[in-house]
Amino acid sequence: MAQRAEADAPRPAPRQRPTVLYVMGAGRSGSTILGVALGNCENVFFAGELDRWLARSGVPRRCDPPLTRFWDVVRREMGGSAELAGAKTTYLERSSALLDLCKWPHRHRLRPRYRRASEDLYRAISRAAGVSHIVDSSHYPLRARELQALRGIDLYLLLLVRDPQGVVASLGRDDVPERRFGAPVANLYLWLTNLLSVFVFLRHPQDRRLLVRYEDFLANPEEVIRQILHRIDSSAPIPDLDSLYTGVPFHGNRLVRSAVVELKRSPVDPASRSRLTAVLQRPWAFVYSRLGPAVEPSDSAAASRVRRAPAPASRSCSHEGVAESSQPSSAPRSPRRPQG
């Protein structure tokens, strides 16, 4: 399992062109648990939200020894390629940057260096983790558009979509550290994200893209993972979904505070219904129905929910146990704006 290996342990040499699975779409759509599940597959590494790597100069926010040790290795592998460290790469990634014409000249100047650094980063992660497949859950469709130009990676797009009622309700929660967004702003965010995501998705080769519905993943995670692995020509077995190691992702949401999580089957709690959201997002329901789901769940009444699981004694979720088992025990603070 790629996520459980020590960052400085001997590793087999990966192939020259890493395969990148880029999870694209709106924030609050389940990309972290999908990435964690995939990262527990053989020869797959869940890197988390890599858009933060350049902005933070390759230094993760958390200070867990296994986490910092691994990303120290990546920085060394990058060598002099980290030329954009600390740069305003959000001008190339954030959907809202397209609406600010003053940022367009900066986008043009940053683009060549951004692409070189991104390709070097994936290669460095592949070497450091000793894997051929990397999961990047950065969300942003404009970042995916830049990655489409890279010749040194094999890019697969996973367009992750969730019931917009659930996304809008999550963006409006006041019991989480993230900034709240009212229904009108959240719906505008969804419209822009969906528009750009579909554009980027459809211009990608058909055999290297897959639409994944969050609800399908919860209802039938084994089959969705199997479909994804088949698409990327991986023969890895399905991981134990009752004991998923979160690994050492560079950045992620609160889920990665635990060393081990599980998918607990239970009925889905329906999100509160908003008439505004239903009307505004109806066109996208039609669009995504035409694109087709990754898999039809076998039981729509059953679903799974992410639940933090106590780790075995040898892999405790405490800081000491994490250090011994190479698992993180705390998560970075979540971003203050919706991701997408």
Take residue 318 and report the two structure tokens written for it. 């405490």
Structure confidence by residue, pLDDT tens digits, 194-211 = 999 999 999 999 999 999
Rg (CA), the chain: 19
C-alpha span between 261 and 92 (Å, rounded):
33
Give residue-wise pLDDT tens across range 124-173: 999 999 999 999 999 999 999 999 999 999 999 999 999 999 888 888 76
Contact between 156 and 21 (Cβ < 8 Å) = yes
DSSP, collapsed to helix, strand or coil, labels residue 209 as strand
Cβ neighbours around 25 below 10 Å, total: 31
Report the distance separating Cα 109 and Cα 115, nearest Å: 11
* Tokens describing residue 106: 């900066």
pLDDT in tens, 174-185: 655 566 678 888
pTM given for the model: 0.82
Question: What distance in Å separates the CA atoms of residue 117 and residue 130, rounded to the nearest whole number?
Answer: 19
Is residue 95 pLDDT above 80, yes or no? yes
Token duo for residue 13? 């040499």
3-state DSSP of 163-175: CHHHHHHHHCCCC
Contacts of 325 (CB under 8 A, 6+ apart): 4, 259, 311, 314, 315, 316
Check whether 6 has a pLDDT greater than 60: no
Residue 302's pLDDT is 44
pLDDT digits over 307-335, tens only?
555 544 333 333 222 222 334 444 333 33
Q: How many CA atoms lie within 13 A of 11 on its CB side?
A: 23
Report the pLDDT averaged over residues 28-50: 95
Percent helix / strand / coil, the chain, rounded to 5: 45, 15, 40
Domains of the chain: 2-325 (3.40.50.300)
Q: Whole-angstrom Cα distance, residue 87 to residue 279? A: 39
Asked if 29 and 214 count as a contact pair (C-beta separation under 8 A), the reply is yes
Strand 19-24 to strand 154-161: parallel, antiparallel, or no bridges (unpaired)?
parallel
pLDDT digits over 275-297, tens only?
999 999 999 999 999 886 555 55
